[in-house]
Amino acid sequence: MTTTSSRRDFLATLLHGAGSYAVAASLPGWIGVPGGRSASPAPGAYRFPQGVASGDPTPASVVLWTRVEASAGTNAPIPLVLEVSPHEDFRTLVVRRELVATAESDHTVRVLVTGLAADTRYCYRFRAGDDISAPLGRTRTAPAPDADRTVRLAFASCQSYEAGYYGVWRALLDADAAKPEDERLDLVVHLGDFIYEALGYGSARQVPPFPSGGARTGESWAGTYAVTLDDYRHLWKTYLTDPDLREARARWPFVMTWDDHEFSDDSWQAVATYGRTDTPQASRKVAANQAWFEYVPALLSGTVAPDGIASGAHDFRPVRVVDEPLAGADDTGLDRSPALRAAVASIAIHRTLRFGRHVELVLTDTRSHRSDHAIPESLGVRLSNAARYMLPQHVVELLDAGRTANGGNPPATIDAGRATIENVRRTSAPGTMLGPAQKAWWKSVMERSTATWKLWGSSVPMLPVRFDADAVGMGPTPTVFSTDAWDGYPAERRELLGFLADRKIPNVIVLSGDNHDTFAGTLSTLPGTTAGDGVAVEFSIAGISSPSVFETFADYVKPGDPTRPLIVHDETRFGGSDPRREALNVTLRWGIRSALALAASGKVDTARAIANPRQNPHLAYVDTSANGIGLVTLDGARCVTELWSCAAPRRPGAATPRRIARFERPTWRAGERVRLAEPTITGTPPFPFDVLAAADAAPSRGDG
């Protein structure tokens, strides 16, 4: 039996990071009675502008969070009281503890509350003098590992504050409140890009200038990016003043990982990639890591996976670094620079959480330990005019494979279509997204988990997204949409999917975001083959507010550009009303030839008739013009996923879904190959399937 003192010692070690506290819950029924308190300041002396939040629930604990300010604007420490109750009126408390919020953690507090009952809803609040945090905090502990219970979660990504409002969160809040208690969400999984590190990603609303003034991105849109800890804190504080986001964080426990914009666009390790050269920015990475830790209630230090596998996750550890040049990668893909290594090691966030008998949630960090992009930015610009987009598949695969390419005999030069290029990675190790330590941990978790479903939260998509340039003589191979996603690290993707196949691990679902479109499909060890040989399935969700990929491309590729028909179909040329139909959906599902046929004829049937059977056959659904969120319901028999597609939320208010794609995927046995069928759709299907559905629904000639 663990003694009280040893338990306290353990918890003190577990939460040694700045701004962290461990609080054990009292027995249910205990009523906290303040005693011996000095006179409180008058009401209004303090405020909680970023609300409250909870995160990383376990069967016996949850991490609670708030940030408090003195109305007078002082930086003095602020005494707080945390209260936790099973009741909204707080008539009975299970926790009442005194805390202090200090300027050293930007007056944030993060508290691990232990000793809670499994699968139980709790209310919580913080008091500063006579001022009470708002909105009311609600959270729920995880069901016990052996509980045979349905688990319901939402997953989300990409929420640029400047690009739009958070109406998707408002729609989810309204929908959840309308459901019976036993059908409401248990948690939200946020897959990254919770904040955007630069100003200039949109114009719907403004983030005030950075405290430091920021630094110039060097991009054509001439934004400024966060540099200092105060800059990153400024972003978190601004984003969390949004009322819909504040209410969402107060209503459900969030489980979060990050993507690139929590630090720097398309980053790797502690390296920024705004221009054509990589820029090591270790001090900036440390600042971003500290701000994330201060504002995200995550359980990191001491967490374990199935069978006691230590995750290696740990709280933020302050470190002083001086920026220095890159020193070159070692055989793990990590740059040898001591400053970069120290910055990356200042925090580790990959971890798992168990929700009853049926769900193991596995969260990875796809930024901090990845190697450089396979194609250097300066070379990518030569090949496609975009450093990390629309690059030849065979070039990506050869460079990513490094010294293992061509059976260990990599070519010295590569025919890239536009030019013959030097193989700059012929002596390098193969590319890695996870890094060796995280990859070994991931494999152990996947192999040993006894949960029915293994949900993998990957901030970037695994599904290949290709353009069949080879089918129309535009290149020797398809082009890869984005080498910043797993398409840019094909060797390790093949290794991980091969591991699932070799170990016969069933029921793996990948949840992802980042691409700013909604899609789903089957993950295979042989991408591009028929969609019946998969080892896992993936659901990728569009952003909460960030512009859709169609919207971005349609604005960028102007009328008259020869590639515009691959993106935009102008149906007004054929008697229709919409000059911006999503031809990008046609290109991704049916191929370039179909998109060109649509542009020439205006007929969807004509485009479908010449569809390329080898064009992304693993994709079951694509909607490139969407903002939205995903909902997943899991039990011992099936996974039901709903992908909400909403209009761009350019004004405040609930962003009601204009369509919901619903997938029902039963469990599959060890060794069985899986296929994800196309969804049923409520509402108007995405173009061109709306046209096909309307034609199917129209009465045939001669019908009365």
* Fold of the 1-31+45-141 domain: Immunoglobulin-like (2.60.40)
Q: What is the pLDDT of residues 322-359, one digit of tens each?
A: 999 999 999 999 999 999 999 999 999 999 999 999 99
Q: What is the pTM of this model?
A: 0.94
Mean pLDDT computed over every residue of the chain = 91
What secondary structure letter does DSSP report for 577? S
Is residue 20 pLDDT above 60, yes or no? no
Is residue 42 pLDDT above 80, yes or no? no
Tokens of 37: 């308190």
Is residue 221 pLDDT above 90, yes or no? no
Residue in the block written with tokens 């569009």: 542
pLDDT at 10: 30
Q: What is the pLDDT of residues 254-264, one digit of tens each?
A: 999 999 999 99
pLDDT at 696: 82
Is residue 511 pLDDT above 50, yes or no? yes
Is residue 273 pLDDT above 70, yes or no? yes
Residue in the block written with tokens 């600042």: 287
List b or e across 639-653, with b for residues whose CB sees 16 or more CB atoms inside 10 angstroms.
bebbbbbbebbbebe
Same fold: 1-31+45-141 with 145-362+432-473+495-699: no
Is residue 426 pLDDT above 90, yes or no? yes
Percentage of residues in the chain having pLDDT higher than 70: 92
Average pLDDT over every residue of 457-485 = 94
Choose among 153, 155, 172, 157: nearest CA to 657: 172
Q: For the chain, give every domain's residue range.
A: 1-31+45-141, 145-362+432-473+495-699
Using an 8 Å Cβ cutoff, are 365 and 374 in contact?
no
Q: What is the dihedral of CA 301, 304, 305, 311, to 10 degrees?
A: 40
Is residue 17 pLDDT above 50, yes or no? no
118 Cβ contact partners less than 8 Å away, ≥ 6 residues apart: 59, 60, 141, 142, 143, 144, 147
Q: What is the pLDDT of residues 589-608, one digit of tens each?
A: 999 999 999 999 999 999 99
Poorest-pLDDT segment among 214-228, 538-552, 618-632 = 214-228
Q: Which is it for strands 95-101 and 137-140: parallel, antiparallel or unpaired? A: unpaired
pLDDT at 19: 45
Instruction: Give, for 169, the enclosing helix (H) or strand (E).
Output: helix 167-177
* Phi, psi dihedral angles at 17 (to 5 degrees): -70, 165
Highest averaged pLDDT of the listed ranges 302-316, 405-419, 654-668: 654-668
pLDDT at 21: 58
**CA 340 → CA 124, 173, 176, 216, 259, distances in Å?**
39, 40, 43, 22, 18
Tokens of 172: 């989810």
| pLDDT classification of 376: cutoffs 50, 70, 90 | confident
pLDDT at 387: 80
| pLDDT classification of 39: cutoffs 50, 70, 90 | low
Q: What is the pLDDT of residues 77-123, one digit of tens each?
A: 999 999 999 999 999 999 999 999 999 999 999 999 999 999 999 99
Tokens of 668: 């599959």
pLDDT at 475: 84
pLDDT at 24: 65
Using an 8 Å Cβ cutoff, are 84 and 94 in contact?
yes
Is residue 303 pLDDT above 60, yes or no? yes
SS (H, E, C) 395-432: HHHHHHHHHHHHHHCCCCEEECCCCEEECCCCCCCCCC
Is residue 531 pLDDT above 70, yes or no? no
Poorest-pLDDT segment among 178-182, 528-532, 538-542, 642-646 = 528-532
* Fold of the 145-362+432-473+495-699 domain: Purple Acid Phosphatase; chain A, domain 2 (3.60.21)
What CA–CA distance (Å, rounded) separates 88 from 124? 8
pLDDT at 23: 65
Average pLDDT over every residue of 570-576 = 96
Q: Is 38 exposed, middle or buried (0-12, 13-18, 19+ CB in 10 A)?
A: exposed
Is residue 476 pLDDT above 90, yes or no? no
β partners of residue 165: none
Is residue 8 pLDDT above 50, yes or no? no
Neighbours of 42 (CB within 10 A): 10
Adjacency order of strands within the sheet including 518-524:
351-355, 359-363, 453-457, 508-512, 534-540, 518-524, 619-623
SS (H, E, C) 11-78: HHHHCCCCCEEEEECCCCCCCCCCCCCCCCCCCCCEECCCCEEEECCCCCCEEEEEECEECCCCCCCE
Using an 8 Å Cβ cutoff, are 445 and 352 in contact?
yes
Poorest-pLDDT segment among 12-16, 286-290, 505-509, 552-556 = 12-16
Is residue 37 pLDDT above 60, yes or no? no
pLDDT at 435: 97
pLDDT at 304: 84
